[in-house]
């Protein structure tokens, strides 16, 4: 606990020392969890703000009128959302005006959100969401979407009724120690390090390459993450899942060890996890696993010391070489050795 690692029971401490596969969520775990809205691509038909002509000389805060119109509609749709990617949209949109709440709202896990406002439907999310709503996505929109994703950005479509009106590009920087953490995991004996994310494959692979992760599973829904965790367990791995969001909760619960990023994590993720990291320090993942391995190793050493001491004393008594005072002295020395050996963990 002094190191900011909260382990919720001895069973989880033991299991953590046996971990052979670690699955990592991308957003808020490998990345800083501070996404920023970087791009607003405006598509036709272009919505126009009341009293604005959308010209370059009418820019406010870096966005022109058309971009602000797309941003405003996306902000209204995301007003009631708890998804991490809603934060940068709301933060940017609220710079210009107080956003009204939609008349109705629906969150479609892993796909996006829909909302009704002033008789129109606003949808913000993935290609799959648009397809399920019957919204046609033009070749131009798909090309712009691919360009944003290839740069490591999370790109979401914004639709008004049956037309895609824009694309938002959101960037979340890789944590500075992510690559080091991955190396430490492999050095400690973890055989497989995986990225599990609901993001598009292009976006996921761009981040994974920076972190040194070669096994990437993208475009995942919460149930897909759950199935991958179950598959790893069926293959004989002791699995740790690390995440911070609502979408990670099923996988966190199914893993042998669920690890939640404490201050960045949602309440349900922290509640579901077996280990909570109380700081946004990615190295604490490898530290928690290393601490568990050290603890198990220390326990085994102490058991061996105790058994050897008892065996030697028993043999000495049977052979008449050890008397009571000498036996008691040796026993107490062995107890001190065990205590001192255990105290080494305080420096781990």
> Which residues belong to the active site?
25
What are the beta bridge partners of residue 209? none
Please name the residue ranges forming H helices in 160-200: 178-187
Contact 242, 217 (CB under 8 A): no
Q: At what angle do helices 86-93 and 65-78 cross, to 10 degrees?
A: 130
**Rounded to an integer, what distance in angstroms lies between the CA atom of residue 273 and that of residue 261?**
9
Contact 33, 280 (CB under 8 A): yes
Q: Is the C-alpha dihedral spanning 88, 91, 97, 101 positive or negative?
A: positive
SS3 110: coil
**Rounded to an integer, what distance in angstroms lies between the CA atom of residue 108 and that of residue 132?**
11
**Rounded to an integer, what distance in angstroms lies between the CA atom of residue 32 and that of residue 15?**
27
């Amino acid at each position: 606990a002094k190191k900011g690692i909260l382990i919720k029971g001895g069973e989880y401490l033991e299991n953590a020392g046996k971990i052979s596969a670690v699955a990592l969520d991308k957003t808020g775990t490998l990345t800083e969890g501070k996404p920023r809205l970087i791009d607003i691509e405006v598509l036709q038909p272009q919505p126009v703000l009341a009293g604005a002509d959308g010209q370059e000389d009418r820019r406010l805060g870096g966005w022109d009128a058309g971009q602000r119109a797309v941003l405003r509609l996306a902000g209204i749709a995301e007003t009631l959302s708890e998804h991490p990617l809603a934060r940068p949209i709301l933060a940017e949109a609220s710079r210009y005006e107080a956003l009204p709440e939609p008349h109705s709202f629906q969150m479609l896990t892993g796909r996006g959100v829909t909302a009704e406002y002033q008789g129109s439907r606003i949808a913000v999310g993935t290609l799959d969401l648009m397809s399920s709503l019957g919204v046609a996505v033009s070749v131009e929109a798909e090309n712009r979407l691919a360009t944003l994703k290839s740069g490591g950005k999370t790109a979401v479509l914004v639709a008004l009724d049956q037309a895609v009106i824009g694309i938002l590009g959101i960037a979340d920087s890789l944590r500075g120690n992510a690559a080091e953490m991955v190396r430490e995991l492999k050095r400690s004996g973890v055989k497989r390090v995986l990225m599990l994310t609901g993001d598009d494959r292009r976006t996921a692979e761009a981040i994974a390459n920076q972190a040194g992760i070669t096994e990437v599973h993208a475009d995942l829904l919460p149930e897909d993450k759950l199935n991958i965790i179950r598959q790893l367990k069926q293959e004989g791995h002791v699995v740790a899942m690390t995440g911070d969001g609502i979408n990670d909760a099923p996988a966190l619960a199914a893993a042998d060890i669920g690890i939640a990023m404490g201050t960045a994590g949602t309440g349900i993720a922290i509640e579901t996890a077996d280990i909570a990291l109380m700081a946004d320090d990615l190295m604490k993942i490898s530290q928690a696993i290393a601490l568990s391995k050290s603890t198990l190793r220390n326990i085994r050493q102490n058991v061996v010391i105790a058994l050897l001491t008892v065996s030697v004393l028993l043999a000495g008594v049977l052979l008449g070489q050890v008397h009571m005072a000498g036996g008691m002295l040796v026993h107490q020395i062995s107890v001190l050795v065990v205590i001192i050996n255990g105290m080494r963990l305080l420096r781990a």
